[in-house]
Structure 1
Amino acid sequence: MAAPSMAAALAASLPAPSAAPAPATPTYEAIPPSMSTLIDVEAEIPLKYVQLDGLVVSKILKHSCDSTSSSPVGLLLGIDLDGVLEVSNCFALPHHSGDDDDKSAKSVARYQASMLRSLKEVQGDDNVVGFYQASTLGAFFSQNLIDLQALHHEKLRHGGIVVVHDVSQTARGNASFRAFRLTSAFLDAYKKSSFSTASLASHQLTFSSIFEELPLIIHTNPLLSAFLGEFSSVSPDTAPGSASVSALPPSFSVLDLNSGGLTKNLEHIVDTLDTYRNEEGNLAYLSRQIARERAKADNYVAKRKEESAAREDVTRLFKIPPEPSRLESMLLLGQVDAYAKSLAETTSTGLVKMYSATAGSV
């Protein structure tokens, strides 16, 4: 007879379980009215604002600085309570520049599933509430971002949000974070894949009505606030006769006239306008082609007055292409508008600095 396995031997050595008493019937208490508004199972309470934790802000800043991609993307994790979307954690999504789109998408999906599974195992926040993306000069309009938001709209509570971080503002010493979500009018047109002229007019869509902005605040716990206060405070040096020192080196970025940023902003505007002009040229060419085919079909129907010919399917004889989508044109206009607003802000600040520098030198 074969010797019993180690697991069987250990199981046999354990004491026999004692008969447990029958469990009592549990009693449930009604949810207090003060808590019933917080437990929003059906996501019926509209969002009032988005609250970013200090940890999320630091992670987004680090990912934006370390990433080689022009628009790094990551996932936001948290929960919504009583109309407040509390974002407590986030993690970056990998960027594969050398792979094709299909292979890159599968790799990102595997990484996302692995990270969420690992967070759940260590009792971390694994509830996805949206995405974040870094941009330059406020131009965050892109087809990839819209596809990502629209794809996860049905899966995320309140449709999910996107937090946009402007890297150029951070370089000037201002941490810029804005929260957006897709509007219902745009989602309706996106589901129908209809961005023709008639569809845009019926849905009243422009580049400014693609996203709806939500108020955003940054929350820091007392421990982090105390650390930042201690880190930035000036402490006297122990050496006699020495000046006070600080852990943070002095910054002279406010004295920079920022002429290089102005040139870069103008270059972005010119490039985007050139791309928009090419897109409008392609749309005009396709519109003329559609008009020619339609005119041929109308002439054919006008010549055939008989009833049998009127019932004939004209689309089989004339291949009239569908009207092209104007979504790309709207996104390019959104980028131009963002670059123009950034240019106006940069030039106004630069003029004040240049005037101050000139007045000080006189």
Structure 2
Amino acid sequence: MAATSMAAALAASLPAAPVAPTPAAPTYEAIPPSMSKVIDIEAEIPLQVVQLDGLVVTKILKHSKESSATVHGLLLGLDLDGTLEVSNSFALPHHVSDEDEKSAKSSARYQASMLRSLREVQADDSVVGFYQATSLGAFFNQNLVEIQAIHQEKLRHGGVVIVHDLSSTARGNASFRAFRLTPSFLDAYKKSNFSTSSLVNHRLTFSSILEEIPLQIRTNPLLGSFLESLTKSTPSLLPDTTPETARTSVLPPSFSSLDLGTTGLTRNLEQIIEAVDNYRTEEGNLAYLSRQIARERARADMYVAKRKEENAMRVAQDLPPLPEEDVARLFKIPAEPSRLESMLLLGQIDAYGKSLESTASSGLIKMYGVRSI
């Protein structure tokens, strides 16, 4: 319910998709070559790279560090010549009771107010996607899928979702990745059909839900010079300094790289176990529903076979056959359950496993290094 309310809030804040009326036979003339440059052809250029401004990076890092709840926000910018330039962003409020319709409306009003304020100060106010913070690389969930589906339906280039990994940033490696839904998954999502046959026809697995887009971070020369000045050491102003402390750095030394990361391993294993339990529960529910569907279909098939046998006997006795009744009306055969949640859970397990592999390998190298010392 929380995912639905947030998706509804975003849908209310985004511009409505243009509805083209059914035209008659076209009578307009071809566009002259002198006006061809005026036409918006950016939508025809495929998106090749996402360019993230340094300001956006710092805002996402600040929002993720200060908030203890789910972190998400909107991205603003412009798409130009196949490059999606993300120049600004703002955080979205987190409501404790997201299932309440009132909170969804207040979130939509907040987004509209922020976009209006940015427009008044001549700042970028075009929504090009959203960002979401995650932990241990597991960002597969219904919330992300629903919001991104809304964006890809209403935005010109479909927008992107920037995923920020908090656990990787805590280890000293800021992680930002850009994704969007694949065309095959979006087609199945629009049809609300994630049955077994639909997954086979669309060739869908958890690895084909999203496609990753190359991402690069842009910093202006002033910020680059400032960061370079932080890395240079300066002579110490303290008297009687030893040769080791004769020069000091603006940035204090960081020893986070020496951490073996055993706490993260424990939490990672706990998340894997929880995800596996959720997947087993979901598979159990799907198996139960599948047995119910098979039972009802068997009853319907037996009824049809029995009716055909009775009609064959009546025809042999020169009697009129009984009318063919609607089997769907007599037997309520449930629709095949959706397997979307199972795919998302498999994606979470895969992400937790990759994170565990990365953390364990680096921790193992550190332990061997400590042992040699």
TM-score of the aligned structures, taking structure 2 as reference length:
0.84
Please list, as runs of the form range in 1=range in 2, the aligned pairs for 1:132-147 lying within 5 A after superposition: 132-147=131-146
Q: Secondary structure at the match of 2:86?
A: strand
Q: In the TM superposition, what are the counterparts of 1:33-44 in structure 2 within 5 Å? A: 40-41=40-41, 43-44=43-44
**Whole-Å Cα distance in 2 between the matches of residues 218 and 301 of structure 1?**
65
1:3 counterpart residue number: none
Cα distance between partner residues in 1 of 2:102 and 2:275: 29
Corresponding residue number in structure 1 for 2:65 = 65
**Stretches of structure 2 lacking an aligned partner (at least 5 in a row):** 1-32, 312-319
Distance 2:133 2:34 in 1: 45
- How has the CA–CA distance of structure 1 residues 39 and 236 changed in structure 2, closer, same or farther, with 3 Å as cutoff? farther
- RMSD of Structure 2 on Structure 1 (CA): 1.9
2:289 corresponds, among 282, 286, 290, to 286
CA–CA separation in structure 1 for the residues paired with 2:192 and 2:50? 30
For residue 335 of structure 1, report the CA deviation from its aligned partner: 0.3
- Residues 260 and 309 (structure 1), Cα distance of their counterparts in 2 relative to 1, 3 Å cut: farther
Residue 248 of structure 1 deviates from its aligned partner by 1.5
TM-superposed CA distance for 1:230, in Å, is 1.7
Mapped to 1, the partners of 2:212 and 2:109 lie a distance apart of 31
Partner of 1:53: 53
Matched, 1:192 2:180: no
Task: Check if 1:246 corresponds to 2:249.
Answer: yes
Q: Deviations over 1:256-277 (max 9, x none)?
A: 1111111110000000000000
Q: Which residue of 2 aligns with 1:270?
A: 273
- Displacement of 1:186 in angstroms is 0.5
Task: Find the aligned partners of 1:314 and 1:107 in 2 and give their Cα distance.
Answer: 48
> What's the offset of the Cα at 1:241?
3.2
Give me the whole-angstrom Cα distance separating, in 2, the residues matched to 1:351 and 1:357: 10
Kept after mapping to 2: 8 A contact 1:39/1:81 = no
1:206-251 CA-to-partner distances (Å, cap 9, x unmatched) read 0010101000000000001111112332211223333222221110
Counterpart in the other structure of 1:332: 345
Residue type of the partner of 1:270? I
Tell me the secondary structure at the aligned position of residue 153 of structure 1: helix
User: Quick one: distance in 1 between partners of 2:106 and 2:321?
Assistant: 57
Aligned twin of 1:354: 367
Partner of 1:107: 106
C-alpha contact (below 8 Å) 2:289/2:337 kept by paired residues: yes
Q: Deviations over 1:44-64 (max 9, x none)?
A: 001111000000000000111
What is residue 151 of structure 2 aligned with on the other side? 152
Aligned twin of 1:255? 258
Task: Decide which of 310, 326, 331 is 1:313's aligned counterpart.
Answer: 326
Deviation string 1:81-126 (CA, Å, 9 cap, x unpaired) is 1111110000011110135342322221111111001100110110
Assess if the C-alpha contact under 8 Å between 2:42 and 2:82 holds in 1.
Answer: no
Query: What is the alpha-carbon distance in structure 2 between the residues aligned to residue 139 and residue 347 of structure 1?
Result: 17
User: Does the aligned pair in 1 maintain the 2:98–2:104 contact within 8 Å?
Assistant: no
Where does 1:160-179 land on structure 2 (aligned, <5 Å)? 160-179=159-178
Percent identity for Structure 1 against Structure 2: 69
Residue 338 of structure 1, CA deviation: 0.3
Give the Cα separation in 2 of the matches to 1:202 and 1:101. Answer: 37
Pair 308,327 (structure 1): closer, same or farther in 2 beyond 3 Å = farther
Q: In 2, distance between residues paired with 1:104 and 1:167?
A: 26
Partner residue in 2 for 1:13: none
Q: State the number of aligned residues.
A: 328
Against the structure 1 CA distance between its residues 40 and 219, is the aligned structure 2 distance closer, same or farther, given a 3 Å change threshold? farther
Equivalent residues of 1:301, 1:310 under 8 A apart: no
Amino acid at match of 1:325: S
Specify the code of the residue in structure 1 equivalent to 2:177. R
Q: Are positions 1:343 and 2:342 aligned together? A: no
Letter in 1 for 2:63: H
Contact residue 133 and residue 165 of structure 1 kept, 8 A: yes
- Note the C-alpha offset of 1:282: 0.3
SS at match of 2:153: coil
Gaps of 5+ in 1: 1-28
Runs of 4+ in 1 over 4 A off after TM superposition: 29-32, 307-310
Match of 1:91 in 2: 90
Distance 1:102 1:309 in 2: 53
